[in-house]
Structure 1
Amino acid sequence: MRILLAHNRYQQRGGEDIVFEQEAKLLAEAGHEVGEFVISNDTIESVASKAATFLNILDNRRIVQQFAEQVTSFKPELVHFHNFFPRLSPAAVAYSVQSNIPTVHTLHNFRHVCAGGMFLRNDSVCQLCLKHPMRLPAVIHRCYRNSAIGSYAVTRVGHRFRQLLDKHPHHLTLIALTEFVRQQMISDGFPPSQIVTKPNSVPDAGIGGQTRERRVLFVGRLSSEKGVSFFIELAKSVDAIFEIIGDGPEKDQLSANAPRNVVFRGWLDHQAVLERIKSAAVVVVPSRWFEGFSLIVAEAFSTATPVVVSRMGSLAELVEDDISGFTRELDDFPSWKEAIERLLNTPQLARDLGRGARLAFERKFTRERNLQRLSEIYSAAIERATMASGQPLASTSAAG
């Protein structure tokens, strides 16, 4: 199958960029002919470049022209968009569907229905814009970078994308990474028939050792929505090393408030992160937002490392309580402390939950399972578009 993957990279490399790269490699290794159209936000630095991005947020004609040229030369049987915000713009999606090309878009966050992208305001869950077509709360509360104008512009991107979805039901398919994400979109009025569910995958890191260090691990961006300050408060009352891998805007403040048993590692290369997971007693994910999909949970599962996560959103779906780890209510300090100490003090329990985590990985989050599900989604998208247009498409065999 000839597949064109399109993605707008972020200035700071994150999970969406990693997933894009991993799926491109996965598809190519499976024998598909994979093309990539990638642009970056690195050029958005000056006042002029920021203004240009704002003015072209719905239709960046220069970039869409480049995209159109690649579509013409590559002749894809299917186009798969990951992130298209803010420079690739909805106009690139429009070009694809208006060209009668089966088009798929992965919902990595909630940007289409939430200007901030996370259903989070003032460190608390906020869904005021859900079921509110004009998204006025986003503008009132300045949800995108504390800017009313910027927030309005982002809501227009979501509005434009929704128009495309409604106008081209046979050519545009959305991938939700969890059933929770799918249900949020449906509750806002997105058509259920156009949203399928497929989790991300991670490479198999291999099972960690049977004996683990007395160490509690956090991996991620050091920002308020990740709940790192809560992680540090837990460290003050638990007898163990609390290790933090990552960096971000709250690092200095967190460091100043951290007890002596908290170790800040900064960012490590991916293999080093996996080795730290393999030897940790438990991975903790105390996020304050719903999470689109937590790659760190899947990676912990692959190493048979139990997790403790916030009982909310996608995290509560990924982790089966008392089977692959523990889920705990946000800010319920005694419950989190008890869960972590049980895993630290009862190695057999940790091994049992680790086995459950590994089984969950093998069932849901392997590269093989991801490839199978992607193939199913692509084939269904092509079939639906073909039936709608009445024109047969080129061969779509699994090996290209």
Structure 2
Amino acid sequence: MGSVGRWRTVRLPRRIGFLGQGWSPDAGGVEVHTSALAEALVQQGIEVGALAWGSAEQGARLLNQGGVTVTRQPRLRDKPAAFAGGVNSDDALELWLDTLRPELVHVHHLSGWGARALDVLRKRGLPVVVTLHDDWLICPRGQRWHVSNYLCRVPDPDACAKCLGESHGELAQTAEQLTKRLLHANQALQFVDRIMAPSSTLLEAHQRAGLECAGPHALGRVMPLGIEAESLGLETKRLRALRGDDDLLRLGVLGSVQPSKGVLPLAEAVVAAGRADLVLEIHGPRTSYHGDSQTVSKVEALARDHSAIRLHPSFHPARRAEVLAMLDGVVVPSLWEEGFGLGAREARATGLPVLASRIGGLVQLDQDPGVTLVEPGDQEAWVEAIHAFKRGLIQPCDVIKSTLEMTDDVLAVYASVLQARTDQAA
């Protein structure tokens, strides 16, 4: 399908590269978003190739997913290289660029590639758009969540060195080395054509850390992620009609069980609330978080001891409507500053009420009548919110951006980048 409307008179890239950490069906909102955007661009007649890490056991793979050519590079076994990028990741990136020959590269995550990937792209003279989905550029652990379980408002080199040394001994770095890492990231961003983030809070976090997010041509811009709201809502409604009636209220958590996500204190709040008519359905991977498995172990222990806590494995993104149809509400109890909160917005697209932490990109939902915001870490407030929760669909907020609308906005960014490059060359 060719591009339509205003794109007939505007130059768009014919071939785009996406660079990231993972790709659908890997678990994670970033992976869901990037694959949806890439497939939407293909529908506009643009060739899209993606480079992402894959399983070391499966080796290098070339896949076609929704018309997108996806190269899965075996995940680096050398952990220091996996942390910051290295010769092996540079070689993989160079080979991919030689093969795809993109006219523009959209970077979605640099974990494993390092900020040096931006250096590779700069040396090739390629137009580059970066979307900041989390805090990886300013925090090696990605979420500014300290090993001692607290949120770092501004990265401090001494605290970062201690945190990284305790959680990843093999990656231990001095405060001076971590300062240089941040400086390198800032320098690399100066040559990026456009920088975007799904929320203003994410941009502000990078700016507080000293990253200007605005090089000669790159102005930090808020670009909310899109959702297939209409189709997701219709399919969820159809499946919900098939659901058998019972008296149980089912609250769902959709995502990883890790300290920064707040699943453990939420589960404890559900137990403390003691509602015999309510259960917490936790859907998501239960893997260690930077080597820490204590949170997973404690959640699993709660599930063994309390029938109100139910654990489920990760689900394929294609099953999202099926999972949502079985719930009466969704909870996003994050303790870190969520960049966007895709799961909360998907739930609202289906009419489900949402309980969410008043933090990060989730704060933007405060005007939605279907969302109750609760202070993160306030256990009494969470117990009270669980006590007060009632069954009942609430009309979705009409400001949820569709994937098509988001794609249109992204195309406008691509067009402006190419036009600026043309003007510079004139």
TM-score range, shorter chain: 0.7 to 0.9
Q: Tell me if 1:4 matches 2:17.
A: yes
Give deviations 1:10-56, integer Å, cap 9, x for gaps: 896433333332222121122112122334363699xxx97745258
Aligned equivalent of 2:115: 90
Matched residue count: 368
State how 1:128-207 maps to structure 2 within 5 Å. Answer: 128-129=154-155, 135-142=157-164, 145-147=167-169, 149-152=171-174, 156-166=180-190, 168=191, 171-193=192-214, 194=218, 195-204=220-229, 205-207=232-234
Aligned equivalent of 2:298: 253
TM-superposed deviation, 1:255: 2.8
What secondary structure is seen at the aligned counterpart in 2 of 1:89? coil
Given that residues 113 and 155 in structure 1 are in contact (C-alpha distance below 8 angstroms), is that contact kept between their aligned partners in structure 2? no
TM-superposed deviation, 1:62: 4.2
Aligned equivalent of 2:381: 335
Give deviations 1:53-107, integer Å, cap 9, x for gaps: 5258656334434433443454322111122222x33333212222222101221
What secondary structure is seen at the aligned counterpart in 2 of 1:9? coil
State how 1:375-394 maps to structure 2 within 5 Å. Answer: 375-388=411-424, 390-391=425-426
TM-superposed deviation, 1:154: 6.5
TM-superposed deviation, 1:3: 0.9
User: CA-atom RMSD, angstroms?
Assistant: 3.1
Give deviations 1:319-371, integer Å, cap 9, x for gaps: 22562311011233343333344441xx5xx43xx21x34232xx2x111210
Q: Note closer, same or farther for the CA distance 1:90–1:126 as it changes in structure 2 (3 Å cut).
A: closer
Counterpart pick for 2:398 among 346, 359, 364: 359
Q: Note closer, same or farther for the CA distance 1:62–1:214 as it changes in structure 2 (3 Å cut).
A: closer
Task: Tell me the TM-score normalised to structure 2 length.
Answer: 0.76
Aligned equivalent of 1:242: 280
Rounded to whole Å, the distance in 2 between the matches of 1:203 and 1:151 is 42
State how 1:1-400 maps to structure 2 within 5 Å. Answer: 1=13, 2-9=15-22, 13-40=27-54, 42=56, 52-54=78-80, 60-86=86-112, 88-121=113-146, 122-129=148-155, 135-142=157-164, 145-147=167-169, 149-152=171-174, 156-166=180-190, 168=191, 171-193=192-214, 194=218, 195-204=220-229, 205-207=232-234, 208-209=236-237, 214-236=249-271, 237=273, 238=275, 239-249=277-287, 250-258=295-303, 259-317=306-364, 319-321=365-367, 323-344=369-390, 347=391, 350-351=392-393, 354-355=394-395, 357-361=396-400, 364=401, 366-388=402-424, 390-391=425-426
Structure 1: stretches of 5+ with no match in the other structure: 392-400
Q: Note closer, same or farther for the CA distance 1:227–1:44 as it changes in structure 2 (3 Å cut).
A: farther
Matched residue type, 2:42: A
Task: Tell me the TM-score normalised to structure 1 length.
Answer: 0.81
Give deviations 1:357-400, integer Å, cap 9, x for gaps: 34232xx2x11121012112212222233333x15xxxxxxxxx
Rounded to whole Å, the distance in 1 between the matches of 2:165 and 2:195 is 24
Rounded to whole Å, the distance in 2 between the matches of 1:370 and 1:321 is 21
Given that residues 219 and 244 in structure 1 are in contact (C-alpha distance below 8 angstroms), is that contact kept between their aligned partners in structure 2? yes
TM-superposed deviation, 1:137: 2.4
Given that residues 154 and 205 in structure 2 are in contact (C-alpha distance below 8 angstroms), is that contact kept between their aligned partners in structure 1? no
Given that residues 116 and 143 in structure 1 are in contact (C-alpha distance below 8 angstroms), is that contact kept between their aligned partners in structure 2? no
TM-superposed deviation, 1:112: 1.3
Structure 2: stretches of 5+ with no match in the other structure: 1-12, 60-74, 288-294
What secondary structure is seen at the aligned counterpart in 2 of 1:124? coil
Aligned equivalent of 2:68: none
Q: Note closer, same or farther for the CA distance 1:149–1:38 as it changes in structure 2 (3 Å cut).
A: closer
Q: Note closer, same or farther for the CA distance 1:76–1:272 as it changes in structure 2 (3 Å cut).
A: closer
Given that residues 26 and 371 in structure 1 are in contact (C-alpha distance below 8 angstroms), is that contact kept between their aligned partners in structure 2? yes
What secondary structure is seen at the aligned counterpart in 2 of 1:8? coil
Rounded to whole Å, the distance in 2 between the matches of 1:27 and 1:376 is 12
Rounded to whole Å, the distance in 2 between the matches of 1:24 and 1:111 is 22
What secondary structure is seen at the aligned counterpart in 2 of 1:296? helix
Given that residues 80 and 170 in structure 2 are in contact (C-alpha distance below 8 angstroms), is that contact kept between their aligned partners in structure 1? no
Q: Note closer, same or farther for the CA distance 1:373–1:57 as it changes in structure 2 (3 Å cut).
A: same
TM-superposed deviation, 1:197: 1.5
Matched residue type, 2:313: G
Aligned equivalent of 1:396: none
Matched residue type, 2:31: D
Aligned equivalent of 1:394: none
Given that residues 116 and 144 in structure 1 are in contact (C-alpha distance below 8 angstroms), is that contact kept between their aligned partners in structure 2? no
Matched residue type, 1:138: C
Rounded to whole Å, the distance in 1 between the matches of 2:77 and 2:183 is 21
